[in-house]
Amino acid sequence: MAKNLTTRKEDYSKWYNELVVRADLAENSAVRGCMVIKPYGYAIWEKMQAQLDKMFKETGHQNAYFPLFVPKSLFEAEEKNAEGFAKECAIVTHYRLKTDPDNEGKLIVDPEAKLEEELVVRPTSEAIIWNTYKGWIQSYRDLPILVNQWANVVRWEMRTRLFLRTAEFLWQEGHTAHATKAEAMAETEQMNNIYAEFAETFMAMPVIKGRKTESERFAGAEDTYCIEALMQDGKALQAGTSHFLGQNFAKAFDVKFATKEGGLDYVWATSWGVSTRLMGALVMTHSDDNGLVLPPNLAPIQVVIVPIYKGEEQLNQISEVALQLQSDLRKAGISVKYDDRDTQKPGWKFAQYELQGVPVRIAIGPKDLEKGSVELARRDTLKKEFISRNEVVDKVQSLMVEMQDNMFKKAQVFREEHTTRVDSFDEFKKVLKEKGGFISAHWDGTAETETKIKEMTKATIRLIPFDGEKEEGSCVLTGKPSAQRVLFAKAY
């Protein structure tokens, strides 16, 4: 395992924190709760962005950009939304600093530069966007509006963790406007499906699709769809949400449209988002005690080639082969790095790329030159083999598919092994304590029971699965009738 890296078994939480920093994904900054996303981490996020953006555009969405600030009077217009975010938002009150008259090298806030109205740094953009849409929408001809924004948002969280919960984070937020309820509901479902497809196909992370209970809904939504994944410590992670907002924001901002039939109606809305939190989910789904394990579809470097040599002549001979391989692989669409730095030894490089989760490592030494072979190691299983140089491109191409698939299946098996059907509250508590994971149990449908279970066990209802069988039963806590099992878990 990687030198000095805490193992998952020793302390899962510490393992995660260490790994994110040591693999050069991110680090804490001088600003409380805000992170620096380092180049290697950002390169993964860019791959996520590019793929999601493609999927959004293929389904007719366009990008736009709305202001960072929300005037307080707009912020409070949709009451539930405001209530949900008011307690954790950064507020701009002044627009100038001046030299401290008592201390010349220092600056202080200039009391004369106080804003007439305070500005909230956006924790989410429904308010500012619906205030804008009011000017864009007059008639059914102006609908639908299918807009997405890539942006930073700020939620003043008290306990933060790199990627999983930070005061500032990066995300995308889609905000759509529709003429009918049915259209808005279809959009809500479509985007949740896109998130699921992205998670499973690109992150190799199996997810369950469903809806949130009323108490877990987005503030201001009528329905929240979500995808939930299971981490290796048995805790669930909400990986994406898609909200059906009904006419709430249209009413709050008075956005009406002339219908085809000649009437006047409020516009129907959705919003949906995923964030840099996905980076945390990616790390926690696949990585091991040696470091990151990245799915080939999101790895910034898919193959690294390391020369093993003594002296410059040997290096030159190996480099000739390596650069040819690099060129052949690149032609096949594989991203490759040839690391011929002489400042680091091969062993150091092996450990480093293992730590950083590069899917395939190719090593070439003097013996390989003689034999026309290379040593190829795959990151997911840590298996090594010698193959002929001529086979490398084909082998790597098939490995990209195989590893992506293997990682998904491994995570899927883990999730299945950690999803337990329970029918009594004692069993509920026992499974939660000893095994964790998803607990599939009956619930009487009341917020009261949900809260009680949360207070007693720290487990929450993660979602009401869409594909859950409509099996009747009795609530695991109250014994009252229930029409469907829901999934409980402790969660990030």
Q: Give residues in contact with its own copies (CB under 8 A).
A: 27, 29-31, 34-39, 42-43, 45-46, 62-72, 74-76, 79, 82, 86-99, 105-107, 109, 118-121, 128, 131-132, 135, 141, 147, 151-152, 154, 156, 168, 170, 343
Give the shortest CB-20-to-its own copies separation in angstroms: 14
**Structure tokens, 15:** 């393992």
Give the residue from 445, 439, 446, 435 showing the smallest Cα distance to 425: 439
| Residues 6+ away with beta carbon under 8 Å from 225 | 188, 189, 192, 209, 210, 211, 212, 241, 242, 243, 244
Give the shortest CB-52-to-its own copies separation in angstroms: 14
Give the shortest CB-147-to-its own copies separation in angstroms: 6
Specify the residue, 147 or 422, whose C-beta has the smaller distance to its own copies. 147
Burial class (CB within 10 angstroms; exposed 0-12, middle 13-18, buried 19+) of 143 = buried
Specify the residue, 89 or 411, whose C-beta has the smaller distance to its own copies. 89
Specify the residue, 157 or 444, whose C-beta has the smaller distance to its own copies. 157
Specify the residue, 43 or 393, whose C-beta has the smaller distance to its own copies. 43
* Backbone angles phi and psi of 156, in degrees to 5: -75, 75
Strands (E), 276-381: 303-307, 336-338, 360-364, 373-378
**Structure tokens, 236:** 């669930």
Say how many CA atoms lie within 13 Å of 91 toward its Cβ.
15
Specify the residue, 44 or 318, whose C-beta has the smaller distance to its own copies. 44
Compute the residue count for the chain. 492
Specify the residue, 29 or 397, whose C-beta has the smaller distance to its own copies. 29
> What DSSP element (H or E) covers 36?
strand 35-37
Give the residue from 177, 119, 174 showing the smallest Cα distance to 151: 174
Specify the residue, 68 or 323, whose C-beta has the smaller distance to its own copies. 68
Give the residue from 473, 396, 101 showing the smallest Cα distance to 485: 473
SS3 382: coil
Give the shortest CB-429-to-its own copies separation in angstroms: 35
Give the shortest CB-243-to-its own copies separation in angstroms: 21
* Backbone angles phi and psi of 255, in degrees to 5: -105, 100
Give the residue from 461, 485, 464 showing the smallest Cα distance to 474: 485
Specify the residue, 81 or 287, whose C-beta has the smaller distance to its own copies. 81
Sheet holding 62-63, edge to edge: 62-63, 145-154, 168-178, 268-275, 236-246, 223-230, 208-211, 460-465, 485-489, 438-442, 419-421
Specify the residue, 21 or 186, whose C-beta has the smaller distance to its own copies. 21
Give the shortest CB-325-to-its own copies separation in angstroms: 22
Give the shortest CB-255-to-its own copies separation in angstroms: 14
Specify the residue, 85 or 244, whose C-beta has the smaller distance to its own copies. 85
Give the shortest CB-426-to-its own copies separation in angstroms: 41
Specify the residue, 99 or 381, whose C-beta has the smaller distance to its own copies. 99
- Return the amino acid letter for 376: L
Give the shortest CB-213-to-its own copies separation in angstroms: 25
Cα three-residue angle 271-275-276, rounded to 5 degrees: 175
Cα three-residue angle 88-92-98, rounded to 5 degrees: 140
| Residues 6+ away with beta carbon under 8 Å from 354 | 2, 290, 291, 361, 379
> What DSSP element (H or E) covers 150?
strand 145-154
Give the shortest CB-86-to-its own copies separation in angstroms: 4
Give the shortest CB-468-to-its own copies separation in angstroms: 38
